Structure 1
């Protein structure tokens, strides 16, 4: 989701001293700024631009991985954040793309998920709900593209302005995405690849 850009007070303070500071301030999304830093997503499972490891691979449809959802950590959420949501989307799948995971109603005080939070029951402990992915399974479904060129998987954490979304466990991931997009204060992403 695109967010408006802001010119914070520090931009104007340094506008005439350093042209580079102006560029940094112009490019910083207002919804992602928090204590001078952007909303950030990191992972012990995924590295930006890297390859999906064996633990996250799906366990059906010709793939035989353990299908563990990735460990994720985020920081510097926008002011006013009341909950978080997470999606994983394959933008290179034929047609409209492929939803691998959508999670909502993660409380605002939760800023990380351990690996395999989907299957282990960790998400249910704090009331989060998971969508039905495009494998037609509730929860996480890891990468398993057809043989050929690697696919790009976009992992996104969203900061939301509401505590809960009006959704139920097992609803389609595309429906989760529509609700999330309309209530997002900002987002942070990691993109990884996988092919076979």
Structure 2
């Protein structure tokens, strides 16, 4: 049975979810096209939702391992695309966090790393790629690895899901199954830049 520590109130502003990103990339500058004045920022997008818009219903938490949770969706991650990575990028890490959950640091929905430096997208839609870390869900006391979709309380209040992609000067991290906090610590000396996109989800 899955243990779901159900959020009961809004615990943090959306800006708080971006604090880790700001700390890690405080010294990073926008990338400029060679010989041109216009900026070409490191940008994350998705064909499945727009920045600030609703996540698809099929992303909702559910399926095997969701027994006992109040959500029974398809638990499929959205596709993500990016462009204009900083020079020197050898790898990426992706972290997805819900800052509205009443937990210190928010609820972690996806931890993905060892993404090659030449990659330009994450397929999502149930396709397993790269190294999957532990999210905030657990099954019989064991952490759930991989995408754990949105499952906010049925209050009608939207929760915000912050997808942050980090460009790194290293192709890999030390081990598999790392937590959100472990990845944040491991990437700190390697961050060249970061880009985010926010999706929302609410129940009912």
TM-score tier after normalising by the smaller chain length: 0.7 to 0.9
Residue aligning to 2:102: 94
Give, in angstroms, the shift of residue 42 of structure 1.
Answer: 0.5
- C-alpha RMSD of the superposition: 1.6
C-alpha separation in 1, matches of 2:82 and 2:94: 11
Residue aligning to 1:159: 167
Contact 1:58 / 1:67 at 8 angstroms: preserved in 2?
A: yes
Question: Structure 1 segments of 4 or more deviating over 6 A?
Answer: none
C-alpha separation in 2, matches of 1:164 and 1:147: 39
C-alpha separation in 1, matches of 2:148 and 2:75: 6
Give, in angstroms, the shift of residue 183 of structure 1.
Answer: 1.9
The structure with the largest helix share of the pair is 1
Of the three residues 181, 185, 192, the one matched with 1:174 is 181
Give, in angstroms, the shift of residue 4 of structure 1.
Answer: 4.5
TM-score scaled to structure 1, two decimals? 0.78
Please list every run of 5 or more consecutive structure 1 residues that lacks an aligned counterpart in the other structure. Answer: 6-28
Q: Secondary structure at the match of 1:120?
A: coil
Give, in angstroms, the shift of residue 173 of structure 1.
Answer: 2.4
C-alpha separation in 2, matches of 1:48 and 1:120: 22
Say which one has the larger Rg. Answer: 1
TM-score scaled to structure 2, two decimals? 0.75
Of the three residues 117, 127, 143, the one matched with 1:108 is 117
Residue aligning to 2:46: 43
